[in-house]
Amino acid sequence: MRTPPFQLARSSAPGLCDACCQPTESDLRASRRRARLAELDSHLHCSVIGTCLSTGELRKLVPRFTDLDRHHASDLEIHHAAVELAIAGGAGAKALNKALDERYSGAIRRFDAARDTQALLDLWNEALKSGDIPPAYWAVMSHPHATIAVRQSAFGELHMLSHLVGAANRADIRRLVALEAENQELREKIDRQQARLFELSAERDASVRQASEHALQLAAFGQRKADMPTAQLEAEVERLREKIEDGERRLALHTSRREAAEQRALRDEDETRALRNKLGEVQALLKVVQAECAALERATLGACDRPDVRRRAMEWVSGRRIVYVGGRPNSNAVLKALVEAAGGELIGHDGGIEDRKGLLAAALPNADVVLFPVDCIDHDSMSMLKRVCDRHGVEYSPLRTASVASFVEFVGRLMIGARGGQASAPPPSAFCLRHG
């Protein structure tokens, strides 16, 4: 995103600030208390809810104020409904605000010690270094001394952390081979431990049988040696007692070892299950990235000496009018050139950051399909897209990212669907600025 979804704070000379930015008396009175969730800028609700409240908490809370089914609604629908509740205010926003205050009461008390913006920023920077982001983010956003500049600074740093998470996903792909090798090693380790458990169990059973045999021998020996001298008989009994005690000690030792081995085996199974789940997620992401790379390679193959290959890769867009909402200026220019080279028309709109939103509503009825990247579009534009497209019967579909590869891979899927007589576009969905 080249610019944030709101105007940045400007430092100006005294007396030259805009009248709308001058604090009123009611603002000065309100500054003595913490800000509520509904009082924050609507563009901050997505980051606050997505960062500070888990999906489980939202799944319990949101259905109380909406028509969503907590068991069947997707995580995205739950998150989007929570953002709309926060924007609308009312009982839903109050419940979300109460949940945030109760969960992060400790952080709120710690940040209450800040009496100016500099002290507030110092506490926020300490939280960034320690990695304890969610409590600090809500405490900063709702603090009485949090100015527009402070909230923009915290939002920007949190936004950049989301980019770092995306880079970590690419690093996970590189660690895929290492995870597979580690998974195989853990399987072999579990097999060895299971074999050892069987051996310990056999040794324990043998020790029990040996102790029982010794007890029977002692009883028989006592009957046979009834006429033996008392001193000799007591010595023999003492020797047999020590042997039994030694057998019991060995039995206890093997039992403790077996229990420890079973606990280690259970821990290793849990670790293996977690690694297998993570491996599945990485493999799914890898397949998506590979499909996008293959589609982009087909579209750009022979870009200089074989333009017919590129036209065949993009032949679906020929004669069609595509409206592309959101994205980045550089990649949007490349997409426009690809579509026009294939005989189509691509109308771009940034969702209302610089272009007027009225132009977007006027362009949608004449479109064959409306596309938007989920990582570069805000809630307002997405909601308006859904309403207008449903009203005029225009198909719309999200793209995974604002990259050229995602666009080309989507066009390739539409081509395959059109050739097979299937519906070319997937069902519409709702997406937010940070979570897709």
Contact 141, 31 (CB under 8 A): no
Mean pLDDT, the chain, rounded, equals 78
The mean pLDDT value for 420-433 works out to: 43
Helix (H/G/I), strand (E/B), else coil: 328: coil
* Residue 76 pLDDT exceeds 70: yes
Side-chain half-sphere of 380: how many Cα atoms within 13 Å? Answer: 17
Say what the pLDDT of residue 23 is. Answer: 45
Contact 368, 397 (CB under 8 A): no
The mean pLDDT value for 241-246 works out to: 90
Q: Looking only at Cα atoms, what is the longest distance across the chain?
A: 119
For residue 133, give the amino acid letter.
I
Say what the pLDDT of residue 15 is. Answer: 38
Instruction: Record the pTM.
Output: 0.36
The mean pLDDT value for 207-234 works out to: 77
Higher pLDDT, 217 or 309: 217
- Top mean pLDDT of 11-15, 279-283, 298-302 is at 279-283
Task: Report the DSSP pairing between strands 369-373 and 395-399.
Answer: parallel
The mean pLDDT value for 370-395 works out to: 83
* Residue 187 pLDDT exceeds 80: yes
The mean pLDDT value for 365-386 works out to: 83
Higher pLDDT, 358 or 395: 395
Per-residue pLDDT band for 297 (boundaries 50, 70, 90) equals low
Per-residue pLDDT band for 419 (boundaries 50, 70, 90) equals low
* Residue 137 pLDDT exceeds 80: yes
The mean pLDDT value for 402-425 works out to: 71
| Pair of tokens at residue 239 | 């020797």
Higher pLDDT, 7 or 57: 57
* Residue 405 pLDDT exceeds 80: yes
Higher pLDDT, 415 or 242: 242
Say what the pLDDT of residue 274 is. Answer: 92
Higher pLDDT, 85 or 30: 85
Contact 408, 314 (CB under 8 A): yes
Query: In whole angstroms, what is the distance from residue 365 CA to residue 418 CA?
Result: 22
Helix (H/G/I), strand (E/B), else coil: 316: helix
CATH of 307-419, one of 3.40.960.10, 3.30.470.10, 3.40.1190.20, 3.30.930.10: 3.40.1190.20
Q: Work out the burial of residue 389: count CB atoms within 10 Å of its CB; fewer than 13 is exposed, 13-18 middle, 19 or more buried.
A: buried
Based on DSSP, count helices (H) and strands (E) in the chain, helices before strands: 16, 4
Side-chain half-sphere of 70: how many Cα atoms within 13 Å? Answer: 11
Higher pLDDT, 323 or 315: 323
- Top mean pLDDT of 157-171, 292-306, 320-334 is at 320-334
Query: In whole angstroms, what is the distance from residue 330 CA to residue 332 CA?
Result: 5
Say what the pLDDT of residue 157 is. Answer: 82
* Residue 229 pLDDT exceeds 50: yes
Query: In whole angstroms, what is the distance from residue 184 CA to residue 162 CA?
Result: 32
Higher pLDDT, 205 or 6: 205
Write out the DSSP string of 7-31.
PPP----TT-S-GGGS--HHHHHHT
Per-residue pLDDT band for 424 (boundaries 50, 70, 90) equals very low
* Residue 271 pLDDT exceeds 60: yes
Percent of the chain with pLDDT over 70: 76
pLDDT in tens, 9-25: 444 333 334 445 444 44
Query: In whole angstroms, what is the distance from residue 182 CA to residue 139 CA?
Result: 41
Percent of the chain with pLDDT over 90: 4
Query: In whole angstroms, what is the distance from residue 224 CA to residue 228 CA?
Result: 9
Per-residue pLDDT band for 358 (boundaries 50, 70, 90) equals low
If DSSP states are collapsed to H, E and C, what string results for 248-262? HHHHHHHHHHHHHHH
Contact 285, 173 (CB under 8 A): yes
Least confident range of 12-16, 80-84, 398-402: 12-16
Per-residue pLDDT band for 156 (boundaries 50, 70, 90) equals confident
Domain ranges of the chain: 19-170, 176-298, 307-419
* Residue 429 pLDDT exceeds 50: no
How far is residue 372 from each of residues 320, 327, 342, 427, measured CA to CA in Å?
16, 7, 20, 14
Query: In whole angstroms, what is the distance from residue 90 CA to residue 88 CA?
Result: 7
Higher pLDDT, 277 or 220: 277
* Residue 178 pLDDT exceeds 60: yes
Question: Could you tell me which residues are beta bridge partners of residue 127?
Answer: none
Query: In whole angstroms, what is the distance from residue 234 CA to residue 246 CA?
Result: 18
